[in-house]
Structure 1
Amino acid sequence: MSLPLFISRRYFFSKKKKNFINIIAIISMLVVSIGTAALIIVLSVFNGMEDLLRSIYGEFDAPIQVMPRQGKSFELTDDIKFEINSIDGVMGITEVIEDNALLKYNHSQMVVKIKGFSKDFIEMGRMKEAIRHGELSFGSETQPLAIVGRGIQFKLGISLRNEYTPLEFFYPKNVRPGQINPSSYYTHTRILPGAVFALEQHYDDNYVFVPIAFTEQLLDYKGKRTSVEILIEDPSQADKIQDQLTQALGDQFVVRNADQQHEDLYKTLQIEKLFVFITLSLVVAIASINIFFSLSMLVTEKKSDISLLYAMGATPAMIRKIFLTEGAIIAFIGAGSGLLLGFIIVWIQENFGVVSMGVESAVMQAYPVKLIATDFFYSAISIILITFLAAIQPSLRASNQSKFLRIK
């Protein structure tokens, strides 16, 4: 082989090797960018779902709820009402009786949650937007009406137009020994359906709302209540009013805000969000192996340049800093472009609803998303840290190589 041909082949393969290293570095940045964008998008979807649940439950749940610490019910006395109403910011209270009961309609039956409300519930119009058929009303004292969940309506075939077929409720009594008559084993009452609501699947499939007098008669509570819902003037003062109620009512009662009423659900969402964050971070960590290989190949290729820098007076710390800077550039460009890409996609979805739920009866037509600054902060920190760690070993290898050249 002639010398010109040998030199040209070495130049060709050297250039090809450099291009290969550059391609790996670009791929590394793209992987980091896509992983970061995916992380932002998924976290935003969880934020949107959490906000959607709050908005759905906000139509029905009271800002503050008071329940007995022990037992299923308590006697609501005038003293308790006075303690609650005397706190600044309280607009009023809604008395509640809730329990399981057997519902029969025509020849179909199922166990449901029957929930009786005082008249304040209707006056506040808390479920006005959730009514699908009929009117938000409990009727009159002589002709009470029930508000039925849409899921229960479908399962039992309930018709609001049929005024001759009522809803029949059965509730077991505390049977004494020696009683033979079967009718003494349970309480039986009837009520006509007046409206159908669609709020959320759990409520739609399980709940029937009725006047509290009807529930009191069916369950034989005689002045007892299972909970009291507090309506307040300023929702921003909920925590302050909650603390005041806790002090005023003592240890016999549990005072819960809107989030605490569905604490298990929100905790589940937060746990899922955490595991998704960890999973996608691990995916980016695995993808960061490309950064490790690209920098390792760069160290191998730049042996002569490292020795030249050392001959010009460079220290091992300077050599190490050069390769760490190379890794930091990949990390910052990848993470920065990923954050920007994720922000753009989520912003488009939030404002234009490009991705739909695909279900006509869904509460929202488009997937809910929400941007939170802390998601950007923690995502950027984790991605930059992971990719920066991938650059440490090649930089240490480069500095150790300069020490070897010095000894040699």
Structure 2
Amino acid sequence: MFRPLALFIGLRYTRAERSNRFISFISLISIIGLTLGVAVLITVLSVMNGFDREIKSRILGMIPQATVTSTQIIPDWEPLANQIKQDPEVSEVAPFIQLQGMLTSNGQVSGIMVSGVVPEYEQKVSIIGEHMVEGSLDKLQAGDFGIVLGVDLADLMGVDVGDKITLVLPEASPSPAGIIPRFKRFTLVGTYDISKEVNSLMAYIPMHDAAKLLRLPDGAQGIRMKVDNIFAAPKVSKAATQVAPERLYPTDWTQTHGNLFSAIQMEKAMIGLLLFLIVIVAAFNIVSSLVMMVTDKKSDVAILKTFGATPKLIMNVFVVQGMIIGVIGTVLGTIIGVTFALSISSVLGYINDAFNLHLFDVYPVNYLPSYVKVSDVLIIVSASFLLSFLMTIYPARRAAKIQPAQTLRYE
């Protein structure tokens, strides 16, 4: 059966019993180093991709991606919302009134960002409807003064669905007893669970009740938009202001949470670069093992040259040997890395629950997310193969320059 001579000899050298066991040991170390480097790189980048995806879907699913707000209440917000939705980049719109205050109940006090919403619209631009634990957003009926809180905040305040909770606004109201804060008792009609960051900071009430609480006419303070491409949000919000440029002001998620996503991207790039150094170190071991192999096989190379082997053939023999190390290490690393990346969420989740370790209490999500990107795996595999090939060039050229007469003189 026909086989290329360089491949045949290279495979034979790889399988043959070597007189110098140290060369075999260095080759084994090269394979192990390359395997670990590729596996760790795939796993860590998958975890970083998981965090990036979860934060985009959870936090950006709750906070406004793009908004236009007015300094005055907008009573005719529906025609305005319909005009804004005509933009092909905008998938859904919803009116809102934003206010800040403090919640108090059972002796507990907590600052809160409150959104006055229309449930049927809000559920189109937000993921809150998918993450309700008790009750539903539809129970926010105008005039009932109902409120929806995150589960963490509800636990902190010691309230359950159906209990009363007081919202205190920073605006002061004059009274016979003097200036007192404005407050209103609400009924808890539902709880949601998105992430620890969101659960403790955001609450929802009916938009009509929010306007009434602020002593404003019935209407909307602004229009929230859900966009198909989150990175187009700044352009979309600016374009929306052209509907009524004299009274609308744009904002988008890059102004409120842009630093968070920039930090994640920077961290992913730096961690990827540092871990890639492991692959580079393992690849340098290929150089060491091949240089020693060339020294060990000098006489074999000289004999091959006397039989007519060309320098190109000799180079290919040692390139094949180096690439065998690279292929074995990269393939094993890819299999281990992808397998571990796909299972790390469930494995660490089981360990966390079994030993009650609270590993994820400081993170925005309550588990370790992992998302294997095929593009990342292909880049890592390609880079590892290319690096392995480059590391074979010097030892292979050195072998090709061996002079048969000088080498066999004392054999």
After superposition, what is the alpha-carbon deviation per residue over 1:157-187, rounded to whole angstroms, capped at 9, x for unaligned?
2344545xx31312146x9xxx999954743
Contact between 1:346 and 1:370, CA under 8 Å: does it hold in 2? Answer: yes
Normalising by structure 2, we get a TM-score of: 0.74
State how far apart, in whole Å, the 1-side matches of 2:98 and 2:221 are. 6
Q: What are the equivalent positions in structure 2 for 1:50-129 lying under 5 Å apart? A: 50-57=52-59, 60=62, 65-68=66-69, 73=71, 76=74, 78=76, 80-86=80-86, 93-121=93-121, 126-129=127-130
**Structure 1, unpaired ranges of 5+:** 1-13
User: CA distance change for structure 1 residues 337 and 15 in 2, over 3 Å: closer, same or farther?
Assistant: closer
The answer to whether the Cα contact below 8 Å between 1:73 and 1:227 also exists between their aligned partners in 2 is no
Deviation at 1:267, TM superposition (A): 3.4
1:184-213: CA deviations, max 9, x gaps?
Answer: 474333323222222211111111211223
- Does 2:271 match 1:276? yes
* Pairing partner for 2:318 from 301, 320, 323: 323
Which residue of structure 2 aligns with residue 304 of structure 1?
Answer: 299
Between stretches 104-113 and 290-299, larger displacement belongs to 104-113
Measured after TM superposition, the shift of residue 49 of structure 1 is 3.3
Q: CA shift at 1:386, angstroms?
A: 2.8
The residue number in structure 1 matching 2:203 is 208
1:288 and 1:390 in contact (8 A); partners too: yes
Match of 2:376 in 1: 375
1:172 to 1:182, Cα distance in 2 relative to 1, 3 A: farther
Native 8 Å contact 1:65 1:255 kept in 2 = yes
Q: Which residue of 2 aligns with 1:249?
A: 241
Identity, % of aligned pairs?
A: 21
Separation in 2, partners of 1:308, 1:186 = 97
Aligned twin of 1:48: 50
Q: CA RMSD in A?
A: 4.2
TM superposition shift of 1:32 = 1.1
Residues 109-258 of structure 1 mapped to structure 2, 5 A cutoff: 109-121=109-121, 126-163=127-164, 166-172=165-171, 184=179, 186-219=181-214, 227-230=222-225, 247=239, 249-250=241-242, 253-254=249-250
Structure 1 residues 41, 86: closer, same or farther in 2, change over 3 A?
closer
* Cα offset, 1:134, TM superposition: 3.8
C-alpha distance in 2, partners of 1:255/1:168?
26
Letter in 2 for 1:37: A
Larger mean CA deviation between 81-90 and 297-306 belongs to: 81-90
Code of the residue aligned with 1:228 in structure 2: it is: I
Pairing 1:36–2:35 present: no
| Structure 1 position 336, deviation (Å) | 2.3
Look up the match of 1:342: 337
Post-superposition CA distance 1:334-385 (Å, at most 9, x none): 21232233334445668xx444252489899975433322112110122223
How far apart, in 2, do the equivalents of 1:218 and 1:404 lie?
99
Q: 2:284 aligns with which of 261, 285, 289?
A: 289
Q: CA deviation digits over 1:201-249, x for unaligned, max 9?
A: 1111111211223333444565785542246xxx869999997775453
Aligned length: 378
1:18-68 CA-partner distances (Å, limit 9, x unpaired): 333223213312321232122222222333333434443476457x63235
| SS of residue paired to 2:169 | strand
Q: Residue by residue, what CA displacement relative to the aligned partner does 1:126-173 show, whole Å, maximum 9, x if unpaired?
A: 53342223443454444311112222223222344545xx31312146
Instruction: Name the structure 1 match of 2:20.
Output: 18
Q: Runs of 5+ in structure 2 lacking a partner?
A: 1-15
Change in CA separation of 1:151 and 1:239 when aligned onto 2, cut-off 3 Å? closer
SS in 2 for 1:343: helix
- For 1:364 and 1:208, locate their aligned partners in 2 and report how far apart those are by CA, in whole Å: 19
Give, in angstroms, the shift of residue 282 of structure 1. 0.5
Contact 1:73/1:224 (<8 A) preserved: no
Deviation of 1:86 (Å): 4.7
Please name the residue that 1:386 is paired with. 387
Q: Is the partner of 1:369 in helix, strand or coil? A: coil
Structure 1 window deviating more from structure 2 (152-161 vs 74-83): it is: 74-83
Name the amino acid aligned to 1:287: A
1:81-122 CA deviation, whole Å, 9 max, x = no partner? 352255579786321222432222243322211221134346
